[in-house]
Chain A
């Protein structure tokens, strides 16, 4: 299916999401911090990035902004995930340039829908 990059620092969440995505047939790369996420995205060229907002070092908003600002990664759709259901987080995430947004705990079916929509060639 597709090659996805999951940037998430919480081990259980990372494990869980990556396993579930893998079960759906996706190839899942993982990164535990903003910096490694950005680096991996540049070298591995995933088709979509799932980005947690509260990350150590580079937070999700910053990482999104960096990814969207670089030619090599600007085209990769980013779905931001956060445990904060605050509207301002969402606004900030969209302002940083993400393509979609979802709150944790993820409704997996809904997340899959979002991913599939973004993966479809525009």
Chain B
């Protein structure tokens, strides 16, 4: 997939603001600069221009006043004043003063005003000269006033203009952009059905059109992909079903081949036809080989279909190892290999998928047996604590042909035999290690290899001893106090303690609870596994008595839950059951360290003696 990022490299990229704000700010900035330049130019020589204007005005007034005086109006003072007032009105001057010989005239308000003087010789009479004073506002003040007006005007205009600009950008750019943004967000959140309005005839219109087209394309592609995936799924389902079916169908005739050849081998011995035995044996072992291949293919197809299920059970490692060793011994002898087993004493228990682990070990051991001749194979079991968890480690080491370093990498891949000559010489499909790896991973662990060509190989598997810890956490774990100390630890000898009774039958619950109370034990009761688990969220009993047949969650599942939960895994457990427990269940219960007390006439007595046993420290936990 090529992901091309188109970068626009302009300086506004790192400016965090909406586009409307950005554009408005830029335009306003340009306008302010322009206005500032214009304003400076306008204000440049305002003072001198005003001065010149006033001077010119004064000259004009002087001329007019002189004509008035000469027209002989001087005699009638009132008339002259009125004419002067007329002149002053609208002249831009605040006052006009005139001294004519002995007479002074003043129109307007001369207070605090600057003055321009004019002396006019007249033709009327000597000594009749006119002295004229024209008053106007102070120039500096006037300039300041003008400037203020200008500034206020400019800002008012800018404000209006800016608002208009923002508004138009909002409608033209921002809103469609916003719609685009929210549509894109909706799409990115998975809502593919959104579409944009395409009626605009500008870039946004085109963009919206392409956006819609893109989505149409995307949806079409998605539909195609989904169809393809669905087809692939159904093909794969069909394949898995076919394989499962097929392997079942193959196994039935194979059963007959294996069984009859074995039988014939025996019978041939009986009737003295010993020369037939080796051939019959070949048929038998070829049949068994074929069966193991079929099983491998089935396993792999199950893994691929994601159908592999982990069925964890509690089991004794000792039993597993001896079983595996018994089964592999014949193969070891065939190549004249010596098998050495190292197991700690006692090896302890493990809660995991025993069948899968057995298969992994058989794979590793049969490889070791197959690729080693006249050598040694070592199976070593050890336990260790890692990050507070219990781990089980198996090492299978041989002194065989070894594996070339460059081949180690794909050893755990399907159908990867180190070289094709291996197939001819040793047989096999190259599935064993692939399956082993997948199983180990499924069991929460890993498999490792270390090998030197010519001197041998070592395969190591690490698995958590308690697969239960990988299971979804039992509900109570979150609320039980975080201290990881085990409930069993607190049930010290001599501590009368607390017991949880799980039984759906009220009268037997009553009977057990009275028996325990008589021994000074506090009793809490639950009617089934679920209720009990809910109770365990807040209560920490020292002993649990449970029936096996319970509504909602039966006793077996409840016990499995208890043992999978670190807080109750060591808790003394008593199964009080009315029914006969079959040997398999009995074995299972023993593995889960449950004591069995049958419901019956002497239940009370049995319970008491069991309690005494527990109190004396001979706890059921083994």
Name A residues whose Cβ lies closer than 8 Å to a Cβ of B.
10, 12-13, 16-17, 19-20, 23, 68, 83-85, 87-88, 91, 94, 97-101, 104-106, 108
Q: Considering only CB atoms, which chain B residue lies closest to A96 in the complex?
A: B582
The answer on a CB contact under 8 Å between A105 and B309 is: no
Residues of chain A contacted by B355 (CB below 8 angstroms): 85, 87
**A88 CA to B253 CA in the complex, in Å?**
24
Q: How far is the CB of A54 from chain B (nearest CB, A)?
A: 9
Q: Give the residues in chain B near A99, CB-CB below 8 Å.
A: 582-584
Q: A88-B311, A94-B582, A94-B585 are in contact. Are A17 and B248 (CB under 8 A)?
A: no
Q: Report A-chain residues with C-beta under 8 Å of the C-beta of B585.
A: 94
Q: Chain B: how many interface residues by the 8 Å CB criterion?
A: 27
With a cutoff of 8 Å between Cβ atoms, the chain B residues found around residue A23 in the complex are: 263, 266-267
In the docked arrangement, what's the CA distance between A91 and B585, Å? Answer: 10
- B266 proximity list for chain A (CB < 8 A): 20, 23
Chain A residues near B588 (CB-CB < 8 A): 94
* A19–B259 alpha-carbon span in the complex (Å): 11
Distance between A113 CB and nearest chain B CB, rounded to angstroms: 11
Q: Does B258 contact A (CB under 8 A)?
A: yes
Provide the bound-state CA to CA distance between A97 and B253, in Å.
Answer: 29
Closest 4 CB pairs of A and B: A12-B256, A87-B311, A16-B259, A105-B255
Contacts of B604 in A (CB 8 A): none
What's the minimum C-beta distance from A86 to chain B, rounded to whole angstroms?
8
B295: Cβ under 8 A from any A Cβ: yes
Q: Mark B251-266, 1 if CB is under 8 A from A, else 0.
A: 1111110111011001
Which chain A positions have C-beta within 8 A of B251? 83, 104-105
Please report the C-alpha to C-alpha distance between residue A88 and residue B353 in the assembled complex, in whole angstroms: 12
**Given A20-B263, A87-B355, A108-B262, also A13-B582 (CB < 8 A):** no
Contact of B252 among A10, A68, A87, A91 (CB under 8 A): A10
B residues in contact with A17, CB < 8 Å: 259
Residues of chain B with a CB closer than 8 A to A101's CB = 584
Task: Please give, as numbers and ranges, the residues of chain A lying within 8 Å of B582 by CB-CB distance.
Answer: 68, 94, 97-99
Chain B residues positioned under 8 Å from A10 (CB to CB): 252, 255
- Is B291 interfacial (CB-CB < 8 Å)? yes
Contact with A along B593-616 (1 / 0, CB 8 A): 000000000000000000000000
Given A12-B255, A13-B256, A105-B263 contact (CB < 8 Å): no
What's the Cα separation between A108 and B295 when bound, in Å? 19
Can you name 24 A-B residue pairings with CB atoms under 8 Å?
Answer: A10-B255, A12-B253, A17-B259, A19-B263, A20-B262, A20-B263, A23-B263, A23-B267, A68-B582, A83-B252, A87-B311, A87-B353, A87-B355, A88-B309, A88-B311, A91-B311, A94-B585, A97-B582, A99-B582, A100-B584, A105-B255, A105-B291, A106-B259, A108-B262
Choose one: B248, B259, B260, B267; the contact of A83 (CB below 8 Å): B248
* Contact yes or no, A20 B311, CB < 8 A: no
Nearest Cβ in chain A — how far from B323, in angstroms? 10
In the complex, are the beta carbons of A85 and B309 less than 8 A apart? no
A104 near B255 with CB under 8 A, answer yes
**Chain B minimum-CB-distance residue to A74:** B580
State whether A84 touches B295 (Cβ < 8 A): no
B248 to chain A: which residues have CB within 8 Å?
83-84
Residue of A nearest to B585 (CB): A94
Q: Give chain B nearest CB distance to A110 CB in angstroms.
A: 10
Residue of A nearest to B313 (CB): A87
B69 CB → nearest A CB, Å:
133
CA distance A87 to B236 in the complex (A): 23
Contact partners of B583 in chain A: CB under 8 A: 99-100
Nearest chain A CB to B290 CB, angstrom units: 11
Q: Which residue of B lies closest to A100 (CB)?
A: B584
Give per-residue flags for B570-584: 1 if the beta carbon is below 8 A from chain A beta carbons, else 0. 000000000000111
Taking the nearest CB of chain A, how far is it from the CB of B518, in angstroms? Answer: 34
Bound-state Cα–Cα, A13 to B584, Å: 26
Q: Supply 16 further A-B pairs (C-beta < 8 A) apart from A87-B311, A87-B353, A100-B584.
A: A16-B256, A16-B263, A23-B266, A83-B251, A83-B252, A87-B309, A88-B309, A91-B311, A94-B584, A94-B588, A98-B582, A99-B582, A99-B583, A105-B255, A105-B259, A105-B288
Distance in angstroms between the alpha carbons of A17 and B256 in the assembled complex: 10
Nearest A residue to B255 via CB reads A105
Give chain A nearest CB distance to B355 CB in angstroms: 6
Closest to B299 in A: A85
For B251, B254, B585, B588, which residue has the most chain A Cβ atoms within 10 angstroms? B251
- Chain B residues contacting A98 (CB-CB under 8 Å) are 582, 584
Query: Once bound together, how far apart are the Cα atoms of A116 and B267, in whole Å?
Result: 22
